[in-house]
Each structure stands twice: as structure tokens, then as C-alpha cells.
Structure 1
Amino acid sequence: MPVQLGGGGKLAEPRARVDLSPTAVADKGRASSTRRNRRQKKKASPPLPPTPMQSLFDTSREVFSASSPGFVPPPDAVARLSAILNDLKPHDVGIDSNMPCFKHGDSKGPPRVTYLHFYDCAKFSFGIFCLPKSAVIPLHNHPGMTVFSKILFGSMHLKSYDWARSIPDNTTTSTLETSNGARLAKVNTDAVFDASAETVVLYPENGGNLHCFTALTPCAVLDVMGPPYNRADGRDCAYYSEAPFSSSCGEFLFSNPIYYSCWRDDQYSWLKEIPSTFEMKGIQMDRKFIV
């Protein structure tokens, strides 16, 4: 029998039946979970952009994917990797000038260069050269390699050469190589660079493939090289001595001091391979940025 409410009220509506069967409960749980997931997706933050080091690694891997001796990346790839390097700051790679590797610890000997090695494979490698003030990386080559160099802080003098392809004009020199093995090279760069300078790129045959660094202040330079040095493949690093080129005295012999009375051409030098006496301290860095 229906119940009559006082005061002229309406009859109470019967309650809806609740289905408590296992199937119904499971369906309700799934629906609730779906709604909850949708809400969480709406609230989820967008993915974080890659760190500068991750971007450097990813871009280097793409640029040097076809790397082999003599490989030259296309211009758009060179521009892309150079842009990544141009934007790098010391804190992006976890270094600063107060680190011990930028101090001259032994006043009795020349300042020692430290190499922070981040990554290498058959295609490319990259790392940071840490130079205390007055430290020198002697004149050396990069056989069959393309190299991107970016100064992160400090200032340094850079001198670079490419092998001469022809005899200079107005000279009595008739050969590009002397009897004692010295080769004629032309100056590519002879200037001071600091962190405001854009990335320097050298190529297997030009752009300053042979170069040397002299630190005017504590400084750091990041190099990306492809392909890396490989002694087993005959691409070891060679070091060179320099001697002035005289454009009026004929072939120059390193043992002949007569060149002092000759007119020099500062755009050229004789370079002769010498045994290596240069040593660096190498430190393997954490690779956790690589994914």
C-alpha cells in the first residue's frame, strides 16, 4: 500500500534497484578507471625538451650517420650541428673555470691539458679539452676527419694550416715537399678566439685540418669529430714542427740557417712530422645523457 504523506505531500518514489552482481561491479570499476585516466591525461604536463647534451648527441649521431674517412656532411647538416654548439654554455656540459683541470698544478712543468671524454663510436666522438692558462695543444692533423670546435669559455690563439696544393706565385720553390720530408702548408687561420666566436669547422682537405691551440686564459673547447681517430685504420694523430717559408731562396732545408737572410712569406710554412711528446690526461665522463 502506498504511504500518504502529511500536508498534502506526494507519494514517495520507490528506490532504483542496485545491481551488485560481479559483472556489474567490474564494469563500473572499468568505467571509473577510464574516467580517472582521462582526467590524469588532461592534467599531465607536456614532455620536457631534451637537454642540450642530449640534443648534441642526437644531432651528432644524425649528422655523422654515414661517416667514413673523408666524409663531409652536407651544408644543412653542418649548419644544424653548428647551431647546437653555438648555443652551448659551460653549465650545459657541467664544467666551470674553477675545476682543478683548469689550474696549473705543477709550476715546474708546462700546464697539462685534460680531455673530458663523453662519447665515441665508429662514426663520431666528442669531448672537451680543458686548458689551463699558457697550455698548448701542439700542431697536429685530423686525417680524413670533419671536426666541429666550439670554445665554451676563455680565450685562445688558434693557428691552422691546409696542405698547399700549388707552388706560391713569385717564388723559386719548385716542389711542395723537401728532400727531408717537410711539406708546404698554407695558413688558414691565425687569430685569437673566445666564447663569443661561432663554431669552427674543419674538413678532411680544407678549413684548417692541421691546427694548434695556445690558451691565453683558462679555457675549454668542445670537439665533435667524425670519424674518430683510429690507429688500426691508419688514422692516428700526427704532430708537426713549423719552419718559415722563404719565397726567394729556393728549397728550404731545416738544417740550413740561410733562410734568415731571405724574404719570408708568412702565409706559408714548411711542416715536418715529428715524434709525439705531447701527453694529455683523459677522464671518462658519465654518459647518462644518452638515451
Structure 2
Amino acid sequence: MVFSSLRGYFSMRQQSSKVQALYDHCKTILSPSGSGTAPPSSQALMKLSSILDTIQPADVGLKEETADDDRGLGFFGANALSRVTRWAQPITYVDIHECDSFTMCIFCFPTSSVIPLHDHPGMTVFSKLLYGSLHVKGYDWVEPPCIIESKGPGYGQVRLAKLAVDKVLNALCDTSVLYPKHGNLHCFAAVTPCAMLDILTPPYREEEGRSCTYYHDYPYSAFLAGNAPIRDGEEEEYVWLAELESPSDLYMRQGVYAGPAIQF
């Protein structure tokens, strides 16, 4: 009995050390927004990715969902819910920690759920897929900006963007990184139940000009732009993006972090 208790204690210490190491490294290398200090070195950012690569679902209080769970409920369980109810479940957002420097959070995706196309202005985002499969599609703005004032109903202003990534991520993949000027606009669609651990730096802050904007994408052929820098045959790599006031297909709820405690 004593041996069993000790084994459980050291197991929890091991779990906690991974998340604690992640937090400690973020706190060390990521300065508060607007502090004017030098950005993290490439080595420090590589270490952050390597720490994230080691994180498993159990390290943050999650259990892996299976395809049999359909729309899955992450660590919330489904014993009291019928299959019909489960199909209506939203994406669950879990806030682990937020400060002036960074945000640590988890997104738990039911199968087929979607986070629509959105941006991360001036931000760098590290994403570790903890389990399952997730389709990600990302764009870069074309520079200098190519903008059209559309006269069509419901379009308004549209801006040209180029495809940066279009692939399915699986849980064994390495941490992916989104930069302020590369892949900064992206959308997610869950192929299976899955969960993503994110580090966003600096965090979203509307008062500092970092609010999340959602977009609708239109094929390049939807608008005529004689000055667009497009070569023949490359049209499928480009889209026109129009801002949305609020996405109609985003269904999300707040969850509670159930992993090991972090010493802040």
C-alpha cells in the first residue's frame, strides 16, 4: 500500500514536471508585451518546441478520445449524455495560464468541429497536437497589400492572401509554429476527436491592437484584379479574404483545467 502511494506520488511529480518546465521556460524567455526587451533567441524557441513535443494528454489532465466517442467530451466524460446530445457538443477551451507575456491553453475538438479562419496579429503561436487528427489550412498576406473595394453585396473590402499550409496533423507530429508574418491566418477542422495545446505570445489584447479577426475566403477567380502578382497556373494558391463580424460556425464553451498544478 505504501509502495503504491509512493508510486502514484512520483508519477504525479513526473507529470507536473513537464507542464511546470513548459511554464518556467515560457516565463524565462517570453518578456511582457511592450517591454522593449530583445526577442527570444532561436535556441530558446527551439527548446520551447522540444518541451512541447514531450507533452502527452495525461500531462495536462486529458484522456485520449476514440472514434467511438463520435463528438467526444475530452475529460468531461459522457456517462450521463445520450448520443444525440453528444453530437451537439462544442469545442472546449481550457485556459491554463494567461499573463502579459503569453497564454497557455488547450482546445478540445469533437469530430468535424471547426475553428473558422482567423488571425493572430503580431503574435507567435506554438501548437502541440496531443491526440487525434486535425486539418489545418493557413495563409500569408500578399505584400505589398493587394486590396479590392468590391461593389458586390456582402463582400465589402477583400484582400489577397497566399496558401501557406494545407495538411492534416496527427498526434505524433512535432510542434508547429505560426509566426507574425508566416501562416498567421489559419483555420482548423477536426478529422477525429483531438486536442491541441497552444502557447500564444504575446496574448490577444484588444487594447494593444491584438484582437482576433475572422475571415471568409473566396477563390481568386471571384474578383478581377489586374495588378495582382499572380502567374498563370497559380490561381489555386491564392484567395481573397473578407473580414467577418462574427463567425456563424464557431461553437465553443469554457472548460476547467484538470491537470497538475503549476507553481506560478
For residues 60 and 233 of structure 1, the distance between their equivalents in structure 2, rounded to whole angstroms, comes to: 21
Shift of 1:181: 1.2
Give me the CA root mean square deviation: 2.8
Task: Kindly provide the CA deviation profile for residues 214-257 of structure 1, in whole angstroms up to 9, marking residues without a partner as x.
Answer: 0000000110001111122221111000111139x7339xxxxx
* Cα deviation, residue 68, structure 1: 4.2
Supply the distance in 2 between the matched residues of 1:218 and 1:105 (Cα, whole angstroms): 16
C-alpha distance in 2 between matches for 1:105 and 1:82: 38
Conserved? CA contact 2:32–2:100, under 8 Å: no
Paired with 1:146 and 1:163, the residues of 2 have a C-alpha distance of: 16
Does the CA contact (< 8 Å) of 2:32 and 2:202 recur in 1? Answer: no
Aligned pairs for 1:72-221 within 5 A:
73-98=40-65, 100-101=73-74, 106=85, 109=88, 111-166=89-144, 176-179=146-149, 180-206=156-182, 208-221=183-196
**Distance (whole Å) between structure 2 residues aligned to residue 118 and residue 74 of structure 1:** 25
SS of the residue 1:165 aligns to: coil
Change (3 A) 1:106 1:69: farther
Going from structure 1 to structure 2, the CA distance change for 1:108 and 1:279 (only over 3 Å counts) comes to: closer
Instruction: Confirm or deny that 1:225 pairs with 2:200.
Output: yes
Normalised TM-score (structure 2): 0.76
Aligned match of 1:3? none
Instruction: Tell me the distance in 1 between the aligned counterparts of 2:27 and 2:34.
Output: 13
Letter in structure 1 aligned against 2:225: E
**Structure 2 counterpart of 1:246, from 214, 221, 227:** 221
CA distance in 1 between partners of 2:139 and 2:129 (Å): 19
Partner deviation per Cα, 1:159-213 (whole Å, 9 max, x = no partner)? 00110115xxxxxxxx71111311101111000111111111111112x100001
Tell me, what secondary structure is at the counterpart of 1:178?
strand
The two structures have a TM-score, normalised by structure 1, of 0.69
Q: Distance in 1 between matches of 2:102 and 2:33?
A: 7
CA distance in 1, matches of 2:257, 2:191: 26
The higher radius of gyration belongs to 1
1:273 to 220, 238, 243: 243
Kept after mapping to 1: 8 A contact 2:62/2:74: no
The percentage of counterpart residues that share the same residue type is 40
- What secondary structure is seen at the aligned counterpart in 2 of 1:115? strand
Aligned to 1:235: 210
Q: How many residues align?
A: 224
Q: Could you tell me how far apart the structure 2 residues matched to 1:221 and 1:105 are?
A: 25
What letter matches 1:192 in structure 2?
A: V
Structure 1: tracts of 5 or more residues without a match: 1-47, 167-174, 253-261
Counterpart contact for 1:69–1:144, Cα < 8 Å = no
What secondary structure is seen at the aligned counterpart in 2 of 1:182? Answer: strand
Q: 1:217 is aligned with what amino acid?
A: T
- Report the Cα distance in structure 2 between the residues aligned to 1:105 and 1:145, rounded to whole angstroms: 38
Q: Contact 1:69/1:227 (CA < 8 Å) preserved in 2?
A: no
Amino acid at match of 1:282: Q
Q: Which residue number in structure 2 is paired with residue 5 of structure 1?
A: none
- Structure 1's 218 and 268: CA in aligned 2 closer, same or farther, altered over 3 A? same
Contact 2:63 2:74 in 1 (8 A): no
Higher relative contact order by CA 8 Å / sep ≥ 6: 1 or 2?
2
Please state if 1:64 is matched with 2:21. Answer: no
Q: Does the 8 Å CA contact 2:131/2:170 hold for their aligned counterparts? A: yes
Aligned partner of 1:65: which letter?
S
Specify whether residues 64 and 105 from structure 1 end up closer, same or farther in structure 2 by C-alpha distance, changes over 3 A only: farther
Unpaired runs of 5+ residues, structure 2, are 1-12, 66-71, 150-155, 227-231
